[in-house]
């Protein structure tokens, strides 16, 4: 899937991670200098850089790699964290758009990323519904009556 070998960065030492975390707190502004010249990053690039820095601030090791715009079903399944068969079935049902190159299926990176975002939103919404249902359930009352 990667166009070039991935770059792996080990986790930062705890003090560096703490300093970076403080610097990023409540800020998504990143200034990039290349050969002493300031460059403003487009939104997508800025978001990727901030995400990378936040992961490092949490003490995580990170891997950076590039991905092609059109993916094979195997590459798209790997990126989405699902099986190749499950992804093929979703393309057959029209849940994820697919393009054909001859008899080979190709899936746009943007379509996989959109599907992943939808899955994330659905999980968050389901969690909120579950929490609301638990709060409204009289049988799920954690307070105990104290005898007098």
Instruction: Convert the pLDDT of each residue in 81-113 to its tens digit.
Output: 999 999 999 999 999 999 998 999 999 999 999
pLDDT band at 78 (very low <50, low <70, confident <90, very high): very high
Q: Using CA atoms, how far apart are residues 99 and 54, in angstroms rounded to an integer? A: 35
Residue-wise pLDDT for 129-139, tens only, equals 777 777 766 66
Domain ranges of the chain: 7-64, 70-136
* Domain 70-136 listed as CATH 1.10.1660: yes
* Whether the Cβ atoms of residue 11 and residue 59 lie closer than 8 Å to each other: yes
Whole-number pLDDT of residue 137? 66
Contacts of 105 (CB under 8 A, 6+ apart): 72, 73, 88, 91, 98, 99
pLDDT given at position 77: 94
CB 73 within 8 A of CB 107: yes
Q: Tell me the whole-structure pTM to 2 decimals.
A: 0.49
What whole-number distance in Å separates Cα of residue 86 and Cα of residue 88? 6
């Amino acid at each position: 899937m990667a166009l070039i070998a991935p770059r792996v960065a080990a986790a930062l030492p705890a003090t560096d991670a703490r300093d970076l975390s403080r610097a990023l707190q409540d800020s998504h502004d990143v200034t990039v200098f290349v050969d002493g010249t300031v460059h403003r990053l487009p939104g997508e690039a800025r978001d990727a850089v901030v995400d990378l820095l936040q992961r490092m601030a949490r003490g995580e090791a990170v891997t950076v790699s590039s991905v092609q715009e059109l993916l094979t079903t195997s590459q798209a399944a790997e990126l989405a964290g699902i099986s190749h068969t499950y992804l093929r079935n979703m393309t057959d049902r029209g849940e994820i758009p697919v393009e054909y190159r001859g008899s080979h299926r190709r899936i746009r990176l943007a379509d996989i990323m959109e599907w992943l975002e939808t899955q994330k939103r659905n999980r968050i919404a389901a969690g909120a519904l579950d929490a609301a249902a638990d709060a409204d359930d009289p049988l799920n009352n954690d307070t105990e009556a104290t005898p007098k």
